[in-house]
């Protein structure tokens, strides 16, 4: 149980670091939102569209399948803004395939880290 909690906290900190770094690199001044649980998802439509008034779109995430589709669309746009191929966000979908899932999860963590900390020209 303790190991699971440690892994979850580490994943949360990593994802918050990734989102706040991406927000900073995309010149969004409220990157600190990445550190607030659940509120961090407000950054997805904002960073994808580049407009600060897009935060109400986050409520679409409450609709199960539609929310997931929009999360992928926003991730795709964020990846492209950072000059990475948008389709890289779809690698996490491989997580639904047995035996491939753990590798897809690791790949997704690495890809988000690259998008955040490695600048492409």
Distance CA 64, CA 114 (A): 28
Distance CA 79, CA 111 (A): 10
pLDDT at position 42 is 86
- CB 47, CB 78: distance < 8 Å: yes
- CB 116, CB 22: distance < 8 Å: yes
**CA geometry: angle 85, 45, 68, nearest 5 deg:** 75
Residue recorded with tokens 């670091």? 17
Over residues 29-51, mean pLDDT: 88
pLDDT at 52 > cutoff 70: no
pLDDT at 50 > cutoff 90: no
Provide the number of structural domains found in the chain: 1
What are the structure tokens assigned to 55, written together? 């935060």
Query: Which sign does the torsion angle of CA 77, 81, 118, 85 carry?
Result: positive
Mean pLDDT for the chain overall = 91
Residue-number span of the structural domain to which 51 is assigned: 2-117
pLDDT at 30 > cutoff 70: yes
What are the structure tokens assigned to 14, written together? 């990593």
Over residues 24-48, mean pLDDT: 91
pLDDT at position 32 is 95
pTM over 0.85: yes
pLDDT at 103 > cutoff 80: yes
Q: What is the DSSP secondary structure assignment for residue 37, as one 8-state letter?
A: T
Over residues 7-30, mean pLDDT: 95
User: Which residues, 6 or more positions from 121, have their beta carbon under 8 angstroms from its beta carbon?
Assistant: 83
């Amino acid at each position: 149980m303790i190991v699971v909690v440690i892994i979850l906290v580490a994943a949360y900190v990593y994802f918050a670091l990734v989102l706040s770094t991406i927000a900073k690199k995309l010149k969004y001044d409220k990157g600190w939102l990445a550190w607030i649980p659940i509120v961090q998802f407000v950054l997805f439509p904002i960073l994808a569209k580049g407009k600060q008034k897009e935060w109400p779109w986050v409520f679409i995430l409450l609709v199960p399948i539609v929310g997931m589709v929009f999360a992928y669309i926003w991730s795709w746009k964020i990846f492209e803004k950072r000059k990475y191929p948008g389709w890289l966000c779809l690698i996490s979908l491989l997580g639904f395939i047995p035996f491939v899932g753990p590798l897809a999860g690791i790949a997704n963590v690495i890809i988000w880290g690259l998008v955040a900390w490695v600048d492409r020209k």
